Amino acid sequence: MSKSLPKRSEDYSLWYNELVKRAGLAENSSVRGCMVIKPYGYAIWEKMQRTLDDMFKRTGHQNAYFPLFVPKSLFEAEEKNAEGFAKECAVVTHYRLQNDPEKPGKLRVDPNAKLEEELIVRPTSEAIIWSTYKNWIQSYRDLPLLINQWANVVRWEMRTRLFLRTAEFLWQEGHTAHATAEEALAETRQMLEVYAQFAEEWLALPVVKGVKTENERFAGAIETYCIEGLMQDGKALQAGTSHFLGQNFAKAFDVQFANKAGSLEYVWGTSWGVSTRLMGALVMAHSDDEGLVLPPKLAPIQVVIVPIYKTGQLEELMERIRPMQMGLIERGISVKVDDRDTERPGFKFAEWELKGVPVRIAVGMRDLDAGTLEVARRDTKEKLTLPLADIVNSVDQLLQDIQQNIYRRALNFREEHTTRVESYEEFKQVLDGKGGFVVAHYDGTSETEERIKEETKATIRCLALAEPEEEGICIVTGKPSTRRAHFARAY
Amino acid sequence: MSKSLPKRSEDYSLWYNELVKRAGLAENSSVRGCMVIKPYGYAIWEKMQRTLDDMFKRTGHQNAYFPLFVPKSLFEAEEKNAEGFAKECAVVTHYRLQNDPEKPGKLRVDPNAKLEEELIVRPTSEAIIWSTYKNWIQSYRDLPLLINQWANVVRWEMRTRLFLRTAEFLWQEGHTAHATAEEALAETRQMLEVYAQFAEEWLALPVVKGVKTENERFAGAIETYCIEGLMQDGKALQAGTSHFLGQNFAKAFDVQFANKAGSLEYVWGTSWGVSTRLMGALVMAHSDDEGLVLPPKLAPIQVVIVPIYKTGQLEELMERIRPMQMGLIERGISVKVDDRDTERPGFKFAEWELKGVPVRIAVGMRDLDAGTLEVARRDTKEKLTLPLADIVNSVDQLLQDIQQNIYRRALNFREEHTTRVESYEEFKQVLDGKGGFVVAHYDGTSETEERIKEETKATIRCLALAEPEEEGICIVTGKPSTRRAHFARAY
């Protein structure tokens, strides 16, 4: 608390790392690349989980749980998927430790307890789930199968960052099976909409919906849909993906169903996921040099009340604060009264700013006597004077305003940082200047995409669904193009 | 559905396995010892989680998340804990796969991607958490630290059983840190009470609260408290444990705090957990030869409505059923209307009996015209005729009655199967006869406990808290004893 945060303008990356730690969201653990999600961070994740889970259930999905481990032979069955994840797999090879005969008090792997077949710690669960679906699906009556799982997964990463890229992370993964390609595609798109709605209405993060190019597609998918958000440093962040798997996994695991006519067909699949990465997006999209700015809908504490008092007054003041506190709680607003007598108000103000609490109310005897309260909103740092008599309604309205304002601000930022360019020159200028999304024609080949990436570090974030067909010429090769892509440097 | 379940009286173990699978709770996976928790089973687990989580939060705990992996050097720091779990650890030794040069299309562990230090897949998280607490705790002001985690853990088991003993299972683990032994002990006992309350009020499972003997204590604990339930086959099942860790982990990980006087002391710890094992307890405590009997408070579907109709009538009937369905839903009761036209009512009745839905309502036009409904309760198999006009109140009351009845029945069973014995002869007779808890004096030594275990397969489930001090003589050695222990054969 004593030291102020690094400034975004000076070192965005350092600002992010420090903020995540100091605000109590997460920290690095003694396990390389794995984080500890701290209580305050986890409380936000729980709100995300609860909201998404309700949305999944409303769209007909059920939760289930599949094993953490994937036997190697299953893992390698869908070749592209296996190839895509092979380089980042944690592998269990032994199932027992024993006393180390050379080092008293130490343990070592028991060489006699080697597994016959190695177990992969799931980097994603298509393999284990589709090998299970084989037994669950016989007939068209068993379809659609609409299942989601909340789980931890492990992808061994060399360069990690809290929330954004960690060896272990938490996520949900939906895995659905359908009788037709159309149904599976409709599911893929439906879940993209669910993610977009969640991002915009809860995270207050405007997103571009689109499809990935082949280079960026999920290993084993026919088509990957995604939502892409823009962070304050002008870099894009993929916030969720929804994959149309075609019949790839059904074929790899021999999952067939008898259709109404009685003949066998391979099942069509989808998978879709969001992860604790969303926590990183939340931080980077809205926060400022004083700390977190949390959208009220996801803030574990929506209102903090700081009593301002002279020695000996606290008890009496607390008595008078209680009705307001209760009124807010009854309205469904989460309130914290910071009645610590070990810290001064200024210290408390700074701490709750750091933690991104949307509304702060400072209350002294004189305010209560006068019937007005000083209310500070975190997003704009404005201070308002509001009548005590109507405080519950005012705060409720204010929380809604803040939610909308944060979204609008992020949307304005994105609009100001989305540039349509017509030449490679301009493309590079924008990237090196204000950054953001650069919307440009390219010839549709992987070669051009690769070349742009090598030369500028920008990747195609997606072919946006809202982008109309349009005749143009590739900014690099001059070849004809029918549609613009959204390029950006990205997390 | 076609074949009936094995009978409990003929093969209890087979009955259990078949019931768990056929009712859609869980099944074995292709990973040795790991299960798939199916949607219907997971829905029950979610209700358990939600209820317990609320109870934890009401008692001041916060959730957080710690890494899946524990570096070997941390794992071995608390020696007793390490020793206790060493034989059942899954160990990650490599972080990459590569194409197998000898088998095209296959993968193998990349020999160049061996970890410098092996990672243990957490069998429990004291080590990783206490190594983190070292950084979180400096002063008495940082205490108590009251944290819970919902997670998967892995304990390599040779003989596994769905829910009861699986290599991977889901659980919650609370880990708290306190300034004094008294506070830590109070926390340990408080969480035991929380578990007991949950078991009795939600699972409808009466439990004996007690402490473990040294032989059965958690590795690394000073004292292990537990709740023990009794299954219908007369075997006991440990349903939850709460450990007083003393300063063992604080010393192993050097977690000290400055007390008010400014001098350093080691922190006092507790840990406590319940797992998906509770699902097994739920099944074995109440279910019968027709299938599951679920306590209404944990049933994903509390009421199933089966329309009885002639061809062409369904739509009209459904219209008339809807107000009742809505009325139940508004009361907070979860209702399923089984309007499948592919199955006959008798088939549906059997299916919902198998799945343990507490209340079934069969509704035909004639019932609606007469203003009465046939309501079947799952626990007693009674059929009641209830007036349609007051159906919501009646069903609500009935669900409460069923919850109580299931509990009372299990309590009666336990009372009938709790026998105080005065001789080893009698002890063995009871164990081989009706089974259950045998409450007997023993001399308090590990040797006698071991001997009884070897000769009878019965272990001391606990020294019950409710058992008064009482002078007696050990049934085996004749030595003096001051307190009876609860013995039983156990899961």
pLDDT digit string, tens, across residues A92-137: 999 999 999 999 889 999 999 999 999 999 999 999 999 999 999 9
Looking at residues B340-369, what average pLDDT do you find? 96
Say whether both B131 and B258 belong to one domain. yes
Closest chain A residue to the Cα of B72, Cα to Cα: A107
Q: What is the DSSP string of A423-481?
A: SHHHHHHHHHTT-SEEEEE--S-HHHHHHHHHHHS-EEEEEETTPPP--EE-TTT--EE
Contact B30 A128 (CB under 8 A): yes
Out of B344, B369, B398, pick the residue that ends a domain. B398
- State in Å, rounded, how far the first CA of chain B is from the last one: 28
Share the mean pLDDT of chain B: 97
- Is the residue at A77 inside a domain? no
Nearest residue of A to residue B37, measured between CA atoms: A65
Q: Is residue B160 part of a domain?
A: yes
Non-local (6+) Cβ contacts of A103 within 8 A are: none
SS3 category, A279: helix
Q: Are residues B263 and B307 in the same domain?
A: no
DSSP code for A141: G
Q: Best mutation site among A65, A150, A255 for testing chain B: the one with the most B CBs within 10 Å?
A: A65
- What is the rounded distance in angstroms from the CA atom of residue B23 to the CA atom of residue B5? 10
List, for residues B380-421, the tens digit of each pLDDT value. 999 999 999 999 999 999 999 999 999 999 999 999 999 999
Residue A450, number of CB atoms within 10 A of its CB: 12
Q: Is B11 helix (H, G, I), strand (E, B) or coil?
A: coil
State whether residue A488 is helix, strand or coil.
Answer: strand
Residue A38 is classified by DSSP as -
Q: Which domain holds residue B370?
A: 301-398
Residue B2 lies in a domain: no
Question: What is the distance in angstroms between the Cα of B341 and the nearest Cα belonging to chain A?
Answer: 12
What's the CATH code of the domain at A366? 3.40.50.800
For residues A127 and A275, membership in a common domain is answered with: yes
Report the greatest alpha carbon distance in chain A: 83
Nearest CA in chain A to B40: A64
Closest by Cα among A275, A257, A274 to A266: A257
Q: Does a structural domain hold residue B81?
A: yes
Name the residue among B39, B94, B131 with its Cβ closest to that of A62: B39
Cross-chain residue pair A97–B66, CB shorter than 8 Å: no
Same domain, B274 and B315: no
Chain A partners of B95 at a C-beta cutoff of 8 Å? 88-91, 156
What mean pLDDT is predicted for residues B270-295?
Answer: 98
CA distances from B147 to A301, B51, B125 (A): 18, 17, 12
The secondary structure of A323-383 as a DSSP string is HHHHHHHHTT--EEE---SSS-HHHHHHHHHHTT-SEEEEEEHHHHHHTEEEEEETTT--E
Rounded to the nearest angstrom, the minimum Cα separation between B166 and chain A is 11
Q: Please check whether residue A180 touches B, CB under 8 A.
A: no
Q: Average pLDDT of B238-251?
A: 98
Q: What residues of chain A lie within 8 A of the CB of B252, using their CB? A: none
CATH of the domain at A276: 3.30.930.10
CA distance A84 to chain B (A): 11
Query: Is B221 found in the same domain as B350?
Result: no
Residues in chain B: 491
Considering the domain boundaries, does residue B276 fall inside one?
A: yes
Tokens of A252: 């790899």
Q: Which residue of A has its CA nearest to B167?
A: A67
CA distance B247 to chain A (A): 19
Are B156 and A106 an interchain contact pair (Cβ–Cβ within 8 Å)?
no
Average pLDDT over residues B139-160: 96
Q: Are residues A390 and A316 in the same domain?
A: yes
Q: Is A175 helix (H, G, I), strand (E, B) or coil?
A: strand
Per the structure, how many domains does chain B have? 3
Residue A269 identity (one-letter amino acid): G
Q: Is residue A149 part of a domain?
A: yes
Q: Are residues A430 and A351 in the same domain?
A: no
Q: Is B39 on the interface with A (CB under 8 A)?
A: yes
Q: Same domain, yes or no, for A309 and A281?
A: no
Angle, vertex CA B198, rays to CA B196 and CA B203, nearest 5: 105
Q: What is the CATH number of the domain that holds A470?
A: 3.30.110.30
| pLDDT at residue number B2 | 53
pLDDT value of position A105: 87
Average pLDDT over residues B183-201: 98
Contact residues on chain A for B100, CB-CB shorter than 8 A: none
**Are residues A282 and A333 located together in one domain of the fold?**
no
ipTM over 0.95: yes
Q: If we measure between CA atoms, which residue out of A87, A106, A107 comes closest to residue A98?
A: A107
First to last CA, chain A: 28
Interchain CB contact of B152 with A (< 8 Å) = yes
Query: At a CB cut-off of 8 Å and minimum separation 6, what does B164 contact?
Result: B237, B277, B280, B491
Q: Which of A350, A368, A398 is the last residue of a domain?
A: A398
Of A46, A69, A79, which to mutate for an interface test with B (greatest number of B Cβ within 10 Å)? A69
Same domain, A429 and A390: no
Query: Within a domain: residue B469?
Result: yes
Whether residues A341 and A393 share a domain: the answer is yes
Task: Report residue B65 CA to chain centroid gap.
Answer: 21
Looking at the structure, tell me whether residues A272 and A213 fall in a common domain: yes
Task: For residues B365-378, give the mean pLDDT.
Answer: 96
Q: Is B132 on the interface with A (CB under 8 A)?
A: yes
Residue at a domain's end among A286, A320, A344: A286
Chain B contact present for A376, CB below 8 A: no
Per-residue model confidence (pLDDT) at position A2:
53
Residue A81 maps to a domain: no
Which residues of chain A fall below pLDDT 50?
Answer: 1
Interface test with B, best of A93, A97, A117, A133 (most B CBs within 10 A): A97
Residues in B 102-121 with any Cβ partner in A closer than 8 A? 105-107, 109, 118-121
